[in-house]
Amino acid sequence: MSTETQGVSPNPDALRAPLRRVMIVDDSEVDAELLRVRLHDQFPGLQEVCWVGDGTVVLERAEVFDPDLVITDYHMPGYDIIGTVSALRRRWPDLPVLVMSGLVGEEAAIQLLKAGASDFLPKSRAERLAMVIDRELLEAGARRNATQLRAALEREHSLYQAIVDEVQAGLWILSPQGLIERTNRHGAQMMGSAPTTALEDFAAIEGWWADSGQRIESHDWPGARAILVGERTAPRLMRVRNFAGEWRHFSCGAAPLRAGDGSSLGAVVSAVDLSAEVDLQDRLRQAEARLRQLSLNQSLQHERQMARVARDLHDNLGQVLSLLKLHLGSAARIDMPIARRQLEIDEALPLVDVALSRLREVCNELLPSELSDFGLFPALTSLCSAAARASGMTVSASEAGSPQAIEPALQLGLFRVAQQALTNALRHAGAGAVQVDLQWQAGEVSLTVSDNGIGFYPQAPRAPKQQGLRGMYERMELLGGALTVESSAGCGATICARLAIGGLP
Ligand SMILES: Nc1ncnc2c1ncn2[C@@H]1O[C@H](COP(=O)(O)OP(=O)(O)OP(=O)(O)O)[C@@H](O)[C@H]1O
Ligand SMILES: [Mg+2]
């Protein structure tokens, strides 16, 4: 009951519980007094002896007196000795309870010991009392010591587990034989299971090294290397399918654990879940590749456009200029009659207008001046008028919502989509009417080009030289927007480009 002995010592004397307070339960005051004298004689450290003559109050008195030893009589009127001894034992598991009495049958003695009595001593053998008490104190001390050790061990265990659980990495502690002795909460989460140390569970786990793509052999897992070859493995990325069947990326390493004398204590395996990071990297790489592809496609489209402009310049403007040169050459000849020279000049003048108009067309194709001069909707209106003039179709434009200022690149992107969609409607749809709608909403602008022509199947595979629809999709993608094409045979086509307003991606 005393808690003074805290340390662990191999010396049995140090383990012996002290004897300072003894409770004597006996209905004979004379016997109790005799015993008290004897005890004081034989145990000089004894400070107090408490006599309890009434067997029914033993527990309450013990609660107050806090004895190091109880010596109880057996035969007392109204005394339930078995019940009292069991109650004492339950309340104070390490307290020695010695039964000292006159004659007691063997059966009763066995019952007493079963109830928790430490020993039984006949009153006739009182000379053995000191020896029996001494032994009981030693055993009680040892029991108490063991209890304290167990408590300390349990505390250490809980503390250790709490620390291990707090570590923001998966931890697996292996015995020198390679058995998993402990794991932590984080490790269990990573493995998609309740904490388990069952080796057979782990035997089912498959893994691949992320750098080489090679399967991880059973002897090559970091924990196995630490145990088998005593080798430390620096954290290395691996792809693992966990108990829940999820693919995860772990950065996993292990180190052998050694005692001060160099003997093996097993190993510790640690792993950090980098799945989210690896996933992000993959998506970043894919986005980069897509962006590279888009830029390449756009620059190819640009090259094609430049080639077309060069062809236009050569075939149209070049021809007109050559003709102009001929006329001006003739007009400059002094051997020509003046009337003929005048004629040549008259022929040349309209050609200058034609050349200027073609030059304007080419410039407009390269960068529509209305777009920068008047804005998106006026440029679209002018585009529609030109398309109507060229095709004889009804081409109308409408604008809804409150127009907002948008970046020139977004303006040009929408304009090019309208150009391409109109060209397609003119070339392929056989439509009677085409409608171009520009709609402004909070944070978004959308452009819709719809025709009432023959329609087509938007998902049909396209020849590489068919660049129109692909170009529209990619242009919108590059600008952080989206393009949708809705069409079916006989039902016309609707192309819609949407862009977020307020900044390019
Ligand atoms: N409005 C439309 N109505 C009917 N068919 C269409 C329409 N728009 C496109 N198509 C069909 O889709 C095909 C692909 O169009 P896309 O613009 O990609 O290429 P293209 O017009 O054939 O060639 P490019 O635009 O490269 O000069 C067209 O050839 C045509 O068959
Ligand atoms: Mg096209």
pLDDT tens digits, one per residue of 326-376: 999 999 998 889 999 999 999 999 999 999 988 888 887 777 888 888 999
Instruction: Read off the pLDDT of each residue in 280-309 and give the average, rounded to a whole number.
Output: 88
| Ligand 1 centre distance from Cα of residue 428 (Å) | 6
| pLDDT given for residue 108 in this prediction | 87
Residues with a beta carbon under 5 angstroms from ion ligand 2:
424, 468
Q: What is the pLDDT of residue 13?
A: 67
The pLDDT assigned to 250 comes to 97
Q: Is 453 in the pocket of ligand 1 (CB under 6 A)?
A: yes
Alpha carbons 65 and 444: distance in angstroms, whole number = 86
State the pLDDT at residue 504: 54
Q: How does the average pLDDT of the chain come out, rounded?
A: 90
Q: Is the pLDDT score of 223 beyond 60?
A: yes
Q: Determine the topology of domain 167-273 in CATH.
A: Beta-Lactamase (3.30.450)
- Mean pLDDT check: name the lowest of 80-84, 154-158, 458-462: 458-462
pLDDT, residue 384, reads 96
Mutate to test the pocket of ligand 1, among 456, 470, 486 (most ligand atoms within 8 A of CB): 456
pLDDT at 198: 80
pTM of the model: 0.57
Architecture of the structural domain at 12-156: 3-Layer(aba) Sandwich (3.40)
Q: What is the reported pLDDT for 102?
A: 83
Does ligand 1 lie within 6 Å of residue 468's CB atom? Answer: yes
- Sheet of strand 97-101: strand arrangement: 48-52, 21-25, 69-72, 97-101, 119-122
Residue 304: nearest ligand to its CA? Answer: 1
Q: Which CATH architecture has domain 370-505?
A: 2-Layer Sandwich (3.30)
Tell me the C-alpha to C-alpha distance, in Å, between residue 13 and each of 21, 40, 69, 141, 142: 19, 20, 17, 9, 10
Cβ 472 under 6 angstroms from ligand 1: no
Ligand 1 center to 456 CA (angstroms): 9
Q: Which ligand is nearest to the CA of 426?
A: 1
pLDDT of amino acid 68: 94
* Percent of the chain whose predicted confidence (pLDDT) is above 70: 97
In this prediction, residue 3 carries a pLDDT of: 41
Residue by residue, what is the 3-state secondary structure of 127-142?
Answer: HHHHHHHHHHHHHHHH
Distance, CA of 101 to CA of 79 (rounded, Å)? 13
Q: Is the CB of 425 under 6 A from ligand 1?
A: yes
How is residue 222 written in tokens?
A: 């970091």
The ligand 1 atom at the shortest distance from the C-alpha of residue 485 is 8
What average pLDDT score do residues 223-236 get?
A: 94
* Nearest-angstrom CA–CA distance, 455 and 488: 5
Nearest CA to ligand 1 atom 28: 428
User: What distance in angstroms lies between residue 423's CA and the mean position of ligand 2's atoms?
Assistant: 6
Q: Do 394 and 421 form a contact (C-beta atoms < 8 A)?
A: no
Choose the weakest-confidence range: 8-17, 308-317, 365-374, 461-470: 8-17
DSSP 8-state symbol, 313: I
Query: Are residues 101 and 123 in contact, defined by beta-carbon separation less than 8 angstroms?
Result: yes
Site to probe by mutation for ligand 1, drawn from 424, 426, 486 as the one with most ligand atoms within 8 Å of Cβ, is: 424
